[in-house]
């Protein structure tokens, strides 16, 4: 299902978490750097200078540490199921899927045989109607193959009690349209690497003139990129909402059999659907008619083989890694096969693994402590709304109403998914992958016409992340993120509030960022602001855009302040409200000084250390082009520098690099 998941971050890097002083990782401090000049490097500098990113990874950090821990735990659960030949039900499916993936000898023997019928179906296309028909038919595998159109089911943005089908732009193999259109030498280099990869794909598949085919596929994808909205334009939920009937769709993009398309996609007789980018569909209709049919066939072949290459023989796996691993992320080595097998199982049977994960690694005491933290954060946020100087009473009333309707999910779902309809066969790996994607697609289609399931989770319990869902007005914290250094029930409260408190505040704040603030407390896309308050809010957020636009993580490549605005608002506001909640938790008593650190200092240390991370240049370039999150260092610095409490806690003065005059500090929520 497509939904707006505004997550706390990229995912914690390569060292076992060890923290002293009630949760502050002082072993990572760089004592040659003053906090007043750079809190991020002062807190994480020793680690940044000494840690080497593993050859098979493109990034490392606090999130990655915790993700590795979660992954190793999942591996133990999965391999236990795989070793039990007498397992039944979902455990048997886990075992069969994992064993099938790990059986490299059987995979080598099959070669391209599992894709023979798919390749043949592309070769038999003889006209545009058949081309469009195949794009429709393969929507049930769009999660695996990039197609120029993506059909899905999501909550109706303006009627949050109902589901609505949606069509949106898709079809690019590289991370963003900049990779196709920018003249930046780094993107030009990536294009050359992609063309070489495409040539290798056609060569391995035994096609004639592989270089010529590769060039034409890249040229076609470039044409697709040219007619797509960029990621900043695509952030506007109002512009993404264009509900229409199939008849109106036929007028918007004439010359295509939309009735046949919807039927082929498994959704005939739809009364209406949402078109996320109407202008894209109009332009795509022209491109589908004008581009030579053979180029579209080669495009589909390339994307088919690319999409399934991880489940083919070693030559295909290596070819995919050479581009998507080395060229696009800078990784030096392929990840161990067990890691890739674990991710396949978690992507296909995630809540089966999650149920076992929770039983073993997440206690009710942990859940209760997290709920207490969230409750304190919600109270602090309400108080924060009351104290806003830039917002009028009418909008404040609506904001408090929205906050009062927040739904909270912690740890794991109350109701686990039923995988009874998913067939897994140990000797049919690629078939398993297809069936798993098709199973999820059918599950989404079955929602149409039914009430919205507000109990559903869109992350598994073992996922190290969190999200806010505007259509359900809910904040969700999987079990795996509720661990050190984000959250430790045994640690000092100051560090917990600076860590998981800021993450919780971040997710609460997404309901009030530039996108989430356009949805009301019932999850509907509706304006609940006065015009004057919205104008003042926009003026504040424009300042944050300018602040982040000025940061330059790579030479000549700045953060895109508009692309990252929602996350930057959530980081800034989450830190502010977490600090207020920490003060409330003290009950009017002074925080103890521990080993020379005040409570406020420990709070900001706790915040800065969760963003400990480093990444390879190619991966960072990809993030700057496509990721709505700012790079880790700037998340720590960008939020802290606007905090009055930070400036006071470390006695930051004019001339210090992290000094910001009081009248220039950005305070939103």
Closest CA relative to residue 430, chosen from 578, 309, 552: 309
The predicted pLDDT at position 486 comes to 87
Residue for token digits 């004592």? 31
Residue for token digits 């659960």? 77
Number of Cβ within 10 Å of residue 246's Cβ equals 17
- Cα distance between residue 456 and residue 447, in whole Å: 12
What are the residues whose beta carbons fall under 8 Å from the beta carbon of 127, sequence distance 6 or more?
A: 293
Reduced to 3 states, what is the DSSP secondary structure of residue 307?
A: helix
- Cα distance between residue 512 and residue 493, in whole Å: 26
- Cα distance between residue 502 and residue 509, in whole Å: 10
- Cα distance between residue 311 and residue 546, in whole Å: 45
What are the residues whose beta carbons fall under 8 Å from the beta carbon of 372, sequence distance 6 or more?
A: none
- Cα distance between residue 211 and residue 603, in whole Å: 57
Rg from Cα positions in the chain = 25
**Which segments in the chain show pLDDT lower than 70?**
1-21
Note whether 392 and 439 are within 8 A (CB). no
The predicted pLDDT at position 18 comes to 40
Residue for token digits 């080598």? 108
Give me 390's structure tokens.
Answer: 């830039």
What are the residues whose beta carbons fall under 8 Å from the beta carbon of 650, sequence distance 6 or more?
A: 35, 36, 39, 601, 604
Using DSSP, how many helices (H) and how many strands (E) does the chain show? 27, 10
Reduced to 3 states, what is the DSSP secondary structure of residue 591?
A: coil
- CB-based burial of residue 247 (10 Å sphere; 0-12 exposed, 13-18 middle, 19+ buried)? exposed
Give me 574's structure tokens.
Answer: 């989450």
Closest CA relative to residue 119, chosen from 284, 307, 319: 307
Strand 407-411 relative to strand 474-478, pairing: parallel
Question: DSSP labels for 411-440?
Answer: ES-SSPPP-TT----TT-HHHHHHHHHHHH
The 8-class DSSP code of residue 8 comes to S
Reduced to 3 states, what is the DSSP secondary structure of residue 615?
A: strand
Per-residue buried b or exposed e for 174-197, using 16+ beta carbons within 10 Å of the residue's own CB: bbbbbbbeeeeebbeebbebbbeb
- Cα distance between residue 426 and residue 87, in whole Å: 13
pLDDT digits (tens, 9 = 90+) for 340-363: 999 999 999 999 999 999 999 999
Number of Cβ within 10 Å of residue 392's Cβ equals 13
- Cα distance between residue 281 and residue 442, in whole Å: 24
φ/ψ (deg, to 5) at 519: -105, 145
Q: What share of the chain is helix, strand, coil (3-state, %, to 5)?
A: 55, 10, 35
The predicted pLDDT at position 21 comes to 52
Closest CA relative to residue 329, chosen from 631, 59, 646: 59
In Å, the largest CA–CA distance within the chain is 78
In the sheet that 159-169 helps form, which strands lie side by side, from edge to edge? 149-156, 159-169, 273-275, 243-244
- CB-based burial of residue 292 (10 Å sphere; 0-12 exposed, 13-18 middle, 19+ buried)? exposed
The predicted pLDDT at position 4 comes to 35
Backbone CA torsion sign across 80, 82, 87, 93: positive
What are the residues whose beta carbons fall under 8 Å from the beta carbon of 260, sequence distance 6 or more?
A: 129, 132, 133, 136
Question: DSSP labels for 461-499?
Answer: TT-S--EEETTTTEEEEEGGGSSTTT--TTS-HHHHIII
- Cα distance between residue 14 and residue 323, in whole Å: 24
- Cα distance between residue 96 and residue 432, in whole Å: 10
Closest CA relative to residue 125, chosen from 304, 307, 296: 296
Give me 132's structure tokens.
Answer: 């469009």
Cα dihedral 282, 288, 290, 292 in deg (nearest 10): 170
Closest CA relative to residue 45, chosen from 30, 57, 33: 30
Crossing angle between the packed helical segments 565-585 and 632-640, to the nearest 10 degrees: 60
pLDDT digits (tens, 9 = 90+) for 554-608: 999 999 999 999 999 999 999 999 999 999 999 999 999 998 999 999 999 999 9
SS3 of 176-235: the string is CCHHHHCCCHHHHHHHHHHHHHHHHHHHHCCCCCHHHHHHHHHHHHHHHHHCCCCCCHHH
Note whether 294 and 581 are within 8 A (CB). no
Number of Cβ within 10 Å of residue 365's Cβ equals 9
Number of Cβ within 10 Å of residue 593's Cβ equals 11
């Amino acid at each position: 299902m497509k939904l707006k998941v505004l997550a706390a971050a990229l995912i914690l890097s390569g060292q076992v978490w060890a923290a002293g002083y009630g949760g502050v990782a002082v072993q990572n401090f760089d004592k040659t750097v003053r906090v007043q000049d750079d809190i991020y490097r002062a807190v994480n500098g020793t680690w940044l200078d000494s840690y080497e990113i593993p050859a098979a990874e493109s990034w490392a950090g606090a999130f990655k540490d915790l993700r590795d821990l979660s992954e190793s735990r999942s591996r133990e659960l999965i391999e236990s199921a795989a070793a039990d030949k007498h397992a039944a039900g979902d455990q048997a499916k886990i075992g069969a899927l994992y064993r099938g993936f790990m059986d490299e000898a059987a995979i080598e023997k099959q070669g391209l045989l599992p894709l023979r019928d798919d390749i043949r179906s592309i070769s038999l296309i003889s006209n545009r109607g058949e081309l469009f028909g195949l794009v429709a038919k393969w929507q049930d595998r769009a999660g695996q193959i990039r197609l120029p159109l993506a059909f899905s089911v999501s909550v109706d943005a303006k009627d949050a009690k109902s589901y609505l089908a949606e069509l949106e732009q898709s079809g690019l193999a590289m991370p963003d349209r900049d990779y196709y259109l920018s003249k930046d030498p780094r993107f030009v280099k990536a294009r050359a690497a992609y063309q070489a990869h495409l040539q290798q794909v056609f060569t391995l598949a035994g096609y004639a003139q592989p270089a010529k085919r590769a060039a034409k596929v890249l040229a076609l994808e470039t044409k697709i990129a040219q007619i797509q909205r960029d990621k900043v334009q695509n952030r506007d939920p109002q512009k993404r909402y264009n509900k229409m009937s199939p008849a109106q769709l036929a007028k918007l993009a004439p010359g295509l059999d939309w009735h046949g398309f919807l039927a082929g996609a498994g959704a005939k007789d739809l009364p209406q659907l949402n078109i996320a980018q109407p202008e894209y569909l109009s332009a795509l209709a022209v491109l589908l008619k004008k581009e030579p049919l053979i180029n579209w066939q080669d495009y589909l072949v390339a994307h088919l083989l690319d999409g399934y290459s991880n489940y083919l023989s070693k030559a295909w796996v290596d070819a995919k890694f050479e581009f998507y691993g080395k060229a696009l992320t800078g990784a030096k080595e392929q990840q161990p096969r067990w890691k890739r097998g674990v991710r396949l199982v978690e992507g296909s049977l995630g809540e089966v693994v999650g149920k076992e994960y929770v039983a073993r690694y997440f206690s009710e005491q942990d859940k209760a402590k997290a709920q207490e933290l969230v409750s304190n954060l919600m109270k602090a946020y309400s108080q924060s709304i009351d104290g806003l100087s830039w917002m009028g009473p009418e909008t404040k009333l609506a904001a408090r109403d929205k906050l009062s309707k927040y739904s909270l999910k912690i740890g794991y779902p109350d109701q686990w998914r039923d995988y009874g309809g998913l067939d897994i066969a140990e000797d049919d790996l690629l078939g398993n992958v297809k069936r798993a994607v098709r199973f999820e697609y059918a599950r989404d289609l079955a929602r149409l016409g039914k009430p919205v399931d507000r109990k559903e989770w869109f992350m598994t319990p073992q996922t190290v992340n969190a999200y806010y869902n505007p259509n359900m007005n809910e904040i969700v914290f999987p079990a795996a993120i509720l661990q050190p250094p984000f959250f430790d029930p045994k640690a000092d409260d100051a560090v917990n509030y600076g860590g998981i408190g800021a993450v919780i505040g971040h997710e609460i704040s997404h309901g009030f960022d530039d996108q989430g603030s356009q949805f009301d407390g019932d999850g509907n896309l509706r304006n609940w602001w006065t015009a004057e308050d919205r104008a003042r809010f926009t003026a504040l957020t424009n300042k944050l855009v300018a602040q982040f636009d000025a940061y330059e993580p790579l030479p000549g490549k700045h953060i895109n302040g508009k692309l990252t605005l929602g996350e930057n608002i959530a980081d800034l506001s989450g830190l502010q409200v977490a600090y207020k909640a920490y003060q409330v938790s003290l009950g009017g008593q002074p925080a103890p000084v521990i080993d020379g650190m005040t409570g406020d200092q420990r709070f900001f240390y706790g915040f800065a250390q969760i963003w400990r991370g480093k990444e390879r240049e190619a991966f960072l370039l990809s993030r700057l082009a496509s990721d709505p999150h700012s790079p880790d260092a700037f998340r720590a610095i960008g939020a802290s520098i606007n905090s009055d409490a930070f400036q006071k806690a470390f006695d930051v003065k004019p001339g210090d690099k992290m000094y910001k005059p009081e009248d220039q500090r950005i305070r939103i929520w």
